[in-house]
Amino acid sequence: MKVNRILLVLLIFPFISKAQPRLPEGYFWQKFSNGLEVVVIENNKVPLATIEIAVKNGAYTEGPEYSGLSHLFEHMFFKANKDYPTQEKLLKRTQELGAYWNGTTDVERVNYFFTFDKDSLKAGLKFINAAIRFPIYKTEDMQKERPVVDGEFQRAESDPGFLLWYESQKKLWGDLVTRKNAIGDHDVINTATPEKMMIIKNKYYHPNNSVLVICGDVKHEQAFAYAHSIFDDWAHSGFNPHEKYPIPEFTALKSTEYFINESTIAQTPYSMYWWHGPDFRNDSAGMIAADVFSTILGLNSSKWQQALIDKGLATVAGINYETRKYVGPINIFVVPNPTKLKECNAEILHQINLWQQDDYFTDEQLENAKQILRRNNIRNLEKPSSLPSQLTYQWCSTSYEFYTDYTNNCLKVTREDIKKYIARYITGKPYVAGIVINPEMNKAANVSEFFKP
């Protein structure tokens, strides 16, 4: 009987990988014979289920001729497919399922997710299967959707903070800027064709470049069985997309560069300072240290906040590190006091020069930052429908183990870890600094006299 059961399992679930990754309790993983990874998260807080499928695609796969097409592809996901040949029929089906749905496009991930009643799990899996495997790119649908995607870009351009960010990216990444800009390029978006959509699909939309996450009031045995019955015939691409279409390495900054961006819509000046930071392939420990240090600087008691906010030089002074597989940027974002622009810039640079000193933060502040990150993680686990997106982000940019061990590794960060991170990526290293300001304010403050290397 034991032999028969084993044979039965092998017949139903052929060639399942046994190299189990380390995942949190209640997470179950299988890798199908076609390369599709499936994670089931059992969480019965509410009688709902969420299905998410994520693909290792996004800005980092886009040269200039494709800039923004991963984003447009995401929008077209919710149009027509083999099972629902018009968008009206597709939307009607989402209403029948009572589904909440959406998708996002980032630098290193594109994801699609649906939340609905747990009893509709199999129907929901069939729905997402049709959308990802059998899309129909109609010219008329694309003509309708291109202005929608480009409209997102145009709305962003009405924000002076975005204008500053956009110009910063050009200087930070040089010729490879399209591989860090998910929103894309106006001309590429507005001239996209169904043929270009198929190029994106044929390059990256394969089971061996995707992860399917099923989360909610479900049983993992049944969820895996449904997934096998629906996705097993999705053919492996026969190649590794990221070996066949390799991501070029980002060139390190050679020198510090400052720029001033005048904009009539900038009623308040903003300034940004950018460095190339750690990435998962080369320095995962540095990524953890970066998060802890950024959290320390966000404390009201930090020397950073006291020097800039408490003394009235700025109303906002934050630092952020973006988790990435390919060079995560470090960013300081400041809203300076318009009457103290010179003093604010000088103090920012002064504080940066102090970051490596042993007494720049206290042991208590280090511990407080760790506990903030621990509590944030606990809060992130409270909403079951958000768990798949948290996992797929890390699957695309880091690993299951990085995700599982993140909080514990934050708690292990030492003062020396942080000093090593600062020395490797910030102190004495080239950076990009920019300010966006309206012409009248720029003329009155004579910003070019002090905002320079």
Q: pLDDT digits over 143-153, tens only? A: 988 999 999 99
387 within domain boundaries: yes
In sequence order, what are the residues at sequence separation of 6 or more whose Cβ sits closer than 8 angstroms to the Cβ of residue 93?
Answer: 84, 127
2 within domain boundaries: no
Section 17-45 average pLDDT = 93
Residues 238, 285 within the same domain: no
250 within domain boundaries: no
Residues 162, 289 within the same domain: no
Q: What is the pLDDT at residue 203?
A: 97
Q: What is the pLDDT at residue 19?
A: 80
Which letter does DSSP use for residue 279 in this model?
-
Residues 183, 158 within the same domain: yes
Q: What is the pTM of this model?
A: 0.93
Give the helix ranges, DSSP H, for 260-325.
284-297, 303-305
Residue count of the chain, please give it: 453
284-311: buried (b, 16+ CB within 10 Å) or exposed (e) per residue?
bebbbbbbbbbbbbbbeebbbbebbbee
- Answer whether 184's CB lies under 8 Å from 34's CB: no
Residues 42, 101 within the same domain: yes
- Answer whether 58's CB lies under 8 Å from 245's CB: no
434 within domain boundaries: yes
CA 238 to chain centre: 27
User: Does the structure show a pLDDT above 90 at 361?
Assistant: yes
Residues 48, 149 within the same domain: yes
User: Does the structure show a pLDDT above 60 at 404?
Assistant: yes
Residues 279, 214 within the same domain: no
Residues 17, 90 within the same domain: yes
21 burial level (CB within 10 Å; 0-12, 13-18, 19+) = middle
Q: How far apart are CA 39 and CA 201, in angstroms?
A: 23
Amino acid type, 286: G
251 within domain boundaries: no
Q: What is the pLDDT at residue 8?
A: 40
Residue 78: pLDDT band with limits 50, 70, 90: confident
> Would the CA dihedral through 198, 200, 205, 206 be positive or negative?
positive
Amino acid type, 338: P
> Would the CA dihedral through 317, 322, 323, 326 be positive or negative?
negative
- Answer whether 188's CB lies under 8 Å from 65's CB: yes
Q: With H, G, I as helix, E, B as strand and everything else as coil, classify residue 410.
A: helix
| 180-239 per-position pLDDT tens digit | 999 999 999 999 999 999 999 999 999 999 999 999 999 999 999 999 999 999 999 999
HEC secondary structure over 413-453: CCHHHHHHHHHHHCCCCCCEEEEEECHHHHHHHCHHHCCCC
Structural domain for 373, as ranges: 257-449
Q: What is the pLDDT at residue 410?
A: 98
| 261-299 per-position pLDDT tens digit | 999 999 999 999 999 999 999 999 999 999 999 999 999
Q: Which of 187, 215, 244 is the last residue of a domain?
A: 244
Residues 236, 282 within the same domain: no
Domain count, the chain: 2
Residues 265, 159 within the same domain: no
In sequence order, what are the residues at sequence separation of 6 or more whose Cβ sits closer than 8 angstroms to the Cβ of residue 158?
Answer: 265
Q: With H, G, I as helix, E, B as strand and everything else as coil, classify residue 362.
A: coil
186 within domain boundaries: yes
249 within domain boundaries: no
Section 18-25 average pLDDT = 89
Domain containing residue 399: CATH number: 3.30.830.10
Q: Encoding tokens for residue 84?
A: 């629902």
Q: Which of 244, 272, 296 is the last residue of a domain?
A: 244
151 within domain boundaries: yes
Q: How far apart are CA 238 and CA 354, in angstroms?
A: 52
What does the angle CA 270 – CA 342 – CA 159 come to, to the nearest 5 degrees? 10
Section 80-100 average pLDDT = 91
Residues 232, 323 within the same domain: no
Among 414, 447, 415, which residue's Cα sits nearest to residue 433? 447
Residues 64, 182 within the same domain: yes
Helix (H) or strand (E) run with residue 210 in it: strand 210-216
Q: Which of 244, 265, 285 is the last residue of a domain?
A: 244
| 2-16 per-position pLDDT tens digit | 334 333 433 444 445
Amino acid type, 310: D
What does the angle CA 132 – CA 138 – CA 142 come to, to the nearest 5 degrees? 90
Helix (H) or strand (E) run with residue 8 in it: helix 2-12
In sequence order, what are the residues at sequence separation of 6 or more whose Cβ sits closer than 8 angstroms to the Cβ of residue 196?
Answer: 66, 69
User: Does the structure show a pLDDT above 60 at 254?
Assistant: yes
User: Does the structure show a pLDDT above 80 at 18?
Assistant: no
Residues 281, 227 within the same domain: no
Q: How far apart are CA 188 and CA 67, in angstroms?
A: 6
